[in-house]
Amino acid sequence: MLRGLLNVRNYLKSFRLVKNGLKRNSNWVSLLLNKESSHELKIKFSTALSSKRSHESGDLIPYYFAKDLVSFYNALPNANSKVELFQALSTNLGIDTEQVETSLVKLHKSITEKSTLVNRNQEELLLSLIPTYKHLFDDISRLSEGVGFLVNMRKDLRHLFKSNLLDRNSPNLRVFDNFLKKHLAEWFADGFMDLQPITWNSTSAGFIEKLMKSEAVHPINSWSEMKQRMGNRRRVFAFTHRMIPDEPLVVLHALLGDNIPSNINSVLQTDNYPMEKDLVKTATFYSISAIHRGLDGIGLGNLLIKKVVHELKREFPTLDTFVTLSPVPNFRKWLDHHLNIVVSGEPIPQTFIGFDMQTCCDIKNMLSTENWHLNDDLCSKLELPMKKLCARYLSREKRRGLAFDPVAHFHLRNGAILWRLNWLGNPNQMGMDLSYGLMVNYKYNLTDIEANNYEYLVHSKVATSADVQVTADS
């Protein structure tokens, strides 16, 4: 085995890579990017993996390849070079269909002949259905800072999808992304996560600065604003991973009080005077931000909410109400599009039943008036139809059976109910640009969370309060 390994290493020394102006002794990666030799690399890698499974001492080939790939990737000069590497990884280190067919034939034969090799052939088939890059992910994760590398690599992959430099509909790339997401989900499971209370006095300035820069829901413009959000009546929590403890992954901001707020300015400007513990009845989650795009779809926000609820109930035994004050990020875009449909004389969408062409023209004209939200007369005319359309948008507009709005989908799948619509809940520029100022309270009734989650995911049923239902049906 040692002689074979030395021969492989000597053979690989002959490879030298020049890609996108980057010259590098990256032997393993050169095999990967070369179509003629990538199959040979796959065979060597698979053989090495078999050796690792068979011997406690393992094999160094996968380790060398993982280490070399990380170094090579970190030195790539531009997006185009990453495009080429992702295409090579997803294609040349994917599932070997010939091996799958061979394993199927062997399994079928052993079953037909009632051979004692059935179990062995089943295992061989299962292993053949695992792409080689999944084993590569495993080896990278064992490297120092390897988990963080994979998070950043997936962030790059999703950015390349979004910018159309990579085709998100490519079967190979889609499977590659799914396997990488599942791999990260295993590493970012509950047991690896730490809930960090963030305070002005105990949290490092560098960590707090990362939170400030990453706040996407309600931007923080100064250190004094950040200090305000960590006052007596507020709590900030962040998830960190034990292998990358200095990186906040998901952040949640909460306001403590005795009522359910309807306006974001009142939340952000609330005085931070101390409040008696037994007077704290309500926790309002007004910002939940996922900082690393490479962890999209992993479900850390859901886990964070559950952990924070448990922590707050421990600190405040009288706390019994958990709500959000949430944006409706796609409502304005959706509304403008559908108003134009009705105004143009096309068939009226289901969510606009009861709104004729003239009514939609009037709404469209009022919304086009500069600073309409500062005009009491226009506000009074718009409030009812806008809340009605927003209620229908959130509860009835679906994508593949689930809520079209991403924030609604997040909270509904977590088991919350659509509790209240807040007219001009965010009259700031961002709120007007996203949703014409509307905000929503989602409510987490702890005894109903599992039932709501089941009804939503299995039957596409959106849990709503009676008031929201009446508004949507009116």
Could you list the active site residues? 326, 411
Q: At a CB cut-off of 8 Å and minimum separation 6, what does 210 contact?
A: 247, 248, 291
> In sequence order, what DSSP letters do the residues of 297-318 get, joined into one string?
TS-HHHHHHHHHHHHHHHH-TT
Tokens representing residue 419 in the block: 């509790």
390-427 CB burial, b ≥16 within 10 A, e <16: bbbbbbebeeeeebbbebbbbbbbbbbbbbbbbbbbbb
Q: What's the 3-state SS for 96-110?
A: CHHHHHHHHHHHHHH
> In sequence order, what DSSP letters do the residues of 75-138 get, joined into one string?
T--SHHHHHHHHHHHHHHTS--HHHHHHHHHHHHHHHHTT-TTHHHHHHHHHHHTS-HHHHHHH
- Of 423, 455, 441, the closest CA to residue 321 belongs to 441
220 DSSP 8-state letter: -
d(C-alpha 269, C-alpha 225), whole Å:
10
Q: Is residue 237 within 8 Å of residue 199, measured between CB atoms?
A: no
d(C-alpha 162, C-alpha 181), whole Å:
16
- Of 205, 454, 184, the closest CA to residue 298 belongs to 184
Distance of CA 297 to the CA centre of its chain: 4
Residues paired with 204 in a beta bridge: none
Largest Cα–Cα separation, the chain: 86
- Of 91, 171, 191, 177, the closest CA to residue 137 belongs to 177
Tokens representing residue 226 in the block: 């950040």
Count of CB atoms situated within 10 Å of the CB of 276: 7
d(C-alpha 156, C-alpha 168), whole Å:
13
Count of CB atoms situated within 10 Å of the CB of 296: 14
The dihedrals phi and psi of 287, each to the nearest 5 degrees, come to -155, 125
d(C-alpha 86, C-alpha 173), whole Å:
8
